[in-house]
Amino acid sequence: MMCEPTTSHNKPKLLLHVCCAPCSPHVVDLLQKEYCVKAYFYDPNIHPEEEYYFRLEEMKRFCREIQLDIIAANYDPDRWFEIMAGHESDPEKGERCGLCFRMRLEKAAQFAEDNGFSSFATVLSVSPHKDAGVINEIGKELGEKYHVDFHEADFKKKNGFKISVEKSKEFGLKRQDYCGCVYSRR
């Protein structure tokens, strides 16, 4: 829902980094209980370009349906490839993934600080293929750097991934079979 005050005091503003629409419904539901949430789509890891724009449009469609504001940062695959250089053969959940999380979460933390958000979070930990410990460690470090609280979570717990899959079906969202990274697609 849009961040309109429903009581005499507003909920704190949280910027939620989103990677795709199917991973988002459960996380959004949970966070909206405590926060005024805005979605932030920054995912230069997604390849090919057509897949990136498909995921962005799906996310925008989902946000329209639930009346959630979304901010889309510029697509920057050249910067992503530059940061991933030398890590093309890293295994899934290896160093390359940590670098990718850091790149995306840093952009979200900077945006949150620059735009008056009290907190930021990411939907990434809803995936069983993502290490919530690594994500939370990076998020907390970046939150300190940019003076914005990071909402630590492992959203896949308590059937979070299963709930996410069910909710994405309800909204008719296409679930991808890879994270978006050209190397994970192998």
Q: Residue 49: which CATH number?
A: 3.40.50.620
Residue 9's pLDDT is what? 53
Residue 8's pLDDT is what? 34
Condensed to tens digits (0 to 9), the pLDDT of residues 46-60 reads 999 999 999 999 999
Side-chain-facing half-sphere of 20: CA atoms under 13 Å: 25
Residue 38's pLDDT is what? 98
- Tally of domains within the chain: 1
Comparing CA positions, the residue from 135, 145, 140, 79 lying closest to residue 110 is 145
Q: Does residue 92 lie within any of the structural domains?
A: yes
Query: Can you tell me the distance from the alpha carbon of 30 to that of 53, in angstroms, rounded to the nearest whole number?
Result: 26
Where does 6-121 have alpha helices with state H? 25-31, 49-66, 77-84, 95-114
Its domain, for residue 90, covers 13-185
Residue 6's pLDDT is what? 41
If one compares 6 and 70, the residue with the highest pLDDT of the two is: 70
What's this model's pTM, rounded to 2 decimal places?
0.93
Q: Does residue 6 lie within any of the structural domains?
A: no
Q: What is the share, in percent, of the chain residues with pLDDT greater than 70?
A: 94
Assess whether pLDDT exceeds 90 at residue 14.
yes
Mean pLDDT of the chain: 92
At residue 186 the predicted structure's pLDDT band, cuts being 50, 70 and 90, is low
Q: Does residue 36 lie within any of the structural domains?
A: yes
Condensed to tens digits (0 to 9), the pLDDT of residues 81-134 reads 999 999 999 988 899 999 999 999 999 999 999 999 999 999 999 998 899 999
At residue 2 the predicted structure's pLDDT band, cuts being 50, 70 and 90, is low
Q: Does residue 1 lie within any of the structural domains?
A: no
